[in-house]
Structure 1
Amino acid sequence: MDVIVTPTPTLQGEIQALSSKNYTTRYLLVAALAEGTSTIYYPAHSEDSDAMRRCIRDLGAIVEEDNEKIVITGFGKNPKAAEQLDVGNAGAVLRFLMAIASLCPDVTFINRYPDSLGKRPHSDLIDALGQMGVKIEHNEGKLPIRIQGGAPKGGKIQVSGNVSSQFLSALLFLTPLLEEDSEIEVLHDLKSKVVVGQTLEVLEQAGIVIHASEDLMNYRIPGGQKYESKKYVVQGDYPGSAAILAAAAVTNSDVIVHRLEEKSKQGERAIVDVLRMMEVPLTHENGIVHVKGNGKLKAVEFDGDKATDAVLAMVAAAVFAEGTSRFYDVENLRYKECDRITDYLNELRKAGANVEERQAEIIVHGRPEGVEGGVEINAHYDHRVIMALTVVGLRAKNPIRIKDAHHVAKSYPIYFDHLKALGANVEWVE
């Protein structure tokens, strides 16, 4: 399904932020790794979180759900032997479960998205699990991946962090369950440290003890631990809300978004700070962001590694800012569902934006007068790209058609419903 985005000068209304995908997937996993029964209130509903639900069921967790909560009876450190696991297009779910699947004798992760997740590399995690005695068959680090484990060993483990922090997070979920104590050393650099902070926060809530160095490059993990069954409440999602807030910023708007905690550990909360830097009129109090956009924005410079999943929305807003914006330290955007630098900027250019790329930078020469639009653009099956391109379409001079926009469901299934509720002119077409 495609979406046609017709220029919309004004947005107005109130919405509830979607629940956080990142926290939901982590809570689902730690609940499965506990031996008792845990409850997760206000879980996210997206392709990623649904993939985690499906896979923990396949590994032996009992999952019961109503409109408000999920109740999970976990399998502890003894997942059921599953021959195959299907994570869909969810990279984080794949990586977390590759580590947990090493507790099983023989599991194959299948490849249903050869043009997206099937292209993403996982070699750094494969190398780390290999150090722990796990045998892995793979396609040059990519799916399909067969894990023959059953008895991974703790000890000294090294993992590279310069492609993704998800490899480290996967090891942090696994190592507390092992008999031996473990030490993890992160090599090279560590991308998205803020997201590692979310993993550590959830592990602490689940009763797990991990001693992390201040720079998050070294960890001591006592073995023989057990995950505690707990009650968890999922907070609102900043990465998805970033696109809504950017849309309000580039239009004449009076938009309120609820459930966005000021002190959240989600790095993408920086979208609020960046829009303030762009001189967008807004307030953020009591978990409520209120944007009164006038369509006038100033250019910014921002370290995108602090808020990886909000950068594309920030760039979309910068397309209409006065001056030249620069988003740096963003190379890891190249290793997502698509190359979120080259692929995204190519589509922005089609719409009329003036953008440049470096290996780890996005440079935007703002066009306050707007962009031409009137084109069909390819979102490369990437939910973040779809949302960000929609923001540009709202301020273009002519409609744009976004191909395969249904892939927004990976993280934000009701994104276009929310935009319509605010008055956006968006239409699904075959």
Structure 2
Amino acid sequence: MEKIKIIPTKLQGTVQVPSSKSMGHREIICAGLAAGTSIIDNISMSKDIEATMRVLRAMNVSVDEIPSMIEGRHALQIMGTGHPIASADTVDCGESGSTLRFFIPLGANLGCPLTFIGHGKLVSRPLQAYYDILDKQFVQYFNDNGKLPLTVNGLLMPGKYELPGDVSSQFVSGLLFALPLLKGDSEIIITSPLESSSYVDMTLNCLAKYGIKVENEGGAHRRYLVPGKQRFKAQDSKVEGDWSQAAFWTVAGSLGESVTASGVDFTSLQGDKAVVDIMQRMCAALTQDAGSVTVEHGATKATVIDAANCPDIIPILTVLAAVSEGTTHIINAGRLRIKECDRLAAMTSELNKLGARVIEEPEGLLIEGQPQGLRGGAEVDAWNDHRIAMSLAVAAQACAEPIVLTGAGSVSKSYPDFWKDYTSVGGKIEVMA
């Protein structure tokens, strides 16, 4: 499914949201680093999760699918040795930035060459923060002018690791996976205020579940003390629901009739849970229940949205802002330019084709809301980005005329069942090519 026509219709019903891709990566990696057998259930399979599974297998970890206890989901039986051992010389990270950045420190501690390859925009996504660390560690690495393929060859030494706080939190998490396995104690020093701190908190929570101790010294400039000679403990676990995916359905309910996103955890550390607070500030008709959130159709108002700790929900919140009363300002969103695509440019370009009024700024967006709705009647493109594709699908509800979406298949990166769920709540699509 590459090109589809979406006929405007108001969505109504209940969607069981996928499990968290962010937590899925973390649970699978921790289980793979443990000595023994872990069963990880409630996995929503996607290309990104498959990439993490591939890399673990290349590090001599057994990863097998077994029947899930939850209908429509997957479970993995993971048997690790307690320390990664190279069983291949090349690993394919697909288009998953999480997979690549989580595994580079582990790959740099194998004592033999390991080459990371990728596809799409992942080939050129920034890795300089790791290059600076590897230089200080005297670990050999080779790349193509800063791009993939990247070969690392060496052994990390315990000690001090410094990272600026404005880089992706994935760099911090990658070090947190690797440093407990070293022979001595280490510390990670964040030299400027840490952005996307909730993602690091998710990593720390997962590490603790698998028996790893890290002392987190809070404050604007964080410092993490990581004792060495630790061992991950095998653990059976169930992955929690994904708030970044639930956001598509909460906004869909506001633009449609009424949509319930079920399978979410209100105690979650996921930063994308902020969608609830943001939509409430925008006066959305939102109600919470145990494990679910329901949003009914209703007028919404503009607000200021700080993207620093919830970048993944910005594309879909841009859609909501486009049909809200007033002018919404999205700030601290510069890192959206280095995702699967430049998401600020993508949402500006494609929503404006539908009749929205979005102005692109260096670090954000200004959206002049059109409460009367959008005209539609245009062909838009997903920019090979799953979150752009899903956001435009939700935006179609607000259009007077059908839209044609190119790149609809990009949803497989994180949410392969999106179109199935979209039609289950009344969405109307026609496959064109």
Shorter chain as normaliser: what TM range?
A: over 0.9
Matched, 1:368 2:371: yes
Contact 1:325 1:366 in 2 (8 A): yes
* Aligned partner of residue 329 in structure 2, secondary structure: strand
Runs of 4 or more, structure 1, over 6 Å off, are: none
Matched, 1:57 2:60: no
CA drift of 1:157 comes to: 1.2
* Aligned partner of residue 370 in structure 2, secondary structure: coil
Find the counterpart in structure 2 of residue 284 from structure 1.
Answer: 288
CA drift of 1:207 comes to: 0.6
Q: What is the aligned residue count?
A: 424
> Structure 2 CA distance, aligned partners of 1:342 and 1:319?
15
Spell out, residue by residue over 1:335-392, the C-alpha distance to the aligned partner (whole angstroms, 9 max, x if none).
1111111232112112211011222121110001111211112211111111111121
Give the TM-score normalised by structure 2.
0.95
> Structure 1 CA distance, aligned partners of 2:207 and 2:293?
29
Partner AA of 1:47 in structure 2: K
CA drift of 1:38 comes to: 1.0
Spell out, residue by residue over 1:112-164, the C-alpha distance to the aligned partner (whole angstroms, 9 max, x if none).
32xx2122111112222332332111123321111112x21110111223131
Find the counterpart in structure 2 of residue 44 from structure 1.
Answer: 44
Find the counterpart in structure 2 of residue 154 from structure 1.
Answer: 158
Task: Choose 44-53 or 59-68, whichever is displaced more.
Answer: 59-68
> Structure 1 CA distance, aligned partners of 2:189 and 2:431?
48
Contact 1:298 1:323 in 2 (8 A): yes
Find the counterpart in structure 2 of residue 107 from structure 1.
Answer: 114
Matched, 1:197 2:201: yes
Spell out, residue by residue over 1:63-113, the C-alpha distance to the aligned partner (whole angstroms, 9 max, x if none).
122231211001322322421100100001011111111122111112332
Find the counterpart in structure 2 of residue 427 from structure 1.
Answer: 430
Spell out, residue by residue over 1:285-326, the C-alpha distance to the aligned partner (whole angstroms, 9 max, x if none).
2111122223x2111112111211111111111110010111
Equivalent residue in structure 2 for 1:73, among 55, 71, 79: 79
Matched, 1:232 2:237: yes
Matched, 1:392 2:395: yes
* Aligned partner of residue 366 in structure 2, secondary structure: strand
CA drift of 1:273 comes to: 1.6
Matched, 1:122 2:127: yes
* Aligned partner of residue 236 in structure 1, secondary structure: coil
> Structure 2 CA distance, aligned partners of 1:265 and 1:3?
35
Equivalent residue in structure 2 for 1:243, among 248, 257, 261: 248
* Equivalence map 1:12-31=2 (5 Å): 12-31=12-31
Find the counterpart in structure 1 of residue 408 from structure 2.
Answer: 405
* Aligned partner of residue 43 in structure 2, secondary structure: coil
> Structure 2 CA distance, aligned partners of 1:75 and 1:375?
54
Equivalent residue in structure 1 for 2:337, among 334, 337, 350: 334
Task: Choose 340-349 or 223-232, whichever is displaced more.
Answer: 340-349
Matched, 1:131 2:119: no
Equivalent residue in structure 2 for 1:209, among 208, 213, 220: 213
Q: Percent identity?
A: 33
* Aligned partner of residue 344 in structure 1, secondary structure: helix
Equivalent residue in structure 1 for 2:174, among 170, 174, 180: 170
Spell out, residue by residue over 1:16-41, the C-alpha distance to the aligned partner (whole angstroms, 9 max, x if none).
11111001111110111111111111
* Equivalence map 1:295-374=2 (5 Å): 296-374=299-377
Task: Choose 132-141 or 335-344, whichever is displaced more.
Answer: 132-141
CA drift of 1:426 comes to: 2.2
CA drift of 1:49 comes to: 0.7
Find the counterpart in structure 1 of residue 6 from structure 2.
Answer: 5
Change over 3 Å in CA distance of 1:109–1:370 after alignment to 2: same
Which blocks of at least 5 consecutive residues in structure 1 are unaligned? Answer: none
Contact 2:95 2:119 in 1 (8 A): yes
Partner AA of 1:86 in structure 2: D
Partner AA of 1:361 in structure 2: G
Which blocks of at least 5 consecutive residues in structure 2 are unaligned? Answer: 69-74
Give the TM-score normalised by structure 1.
0.95
Superposition RMSD in Å: 1.4
Contact 1:343 1:380 in 2 (8 A): yes
CA drift of 1:53 comes to: 1.0
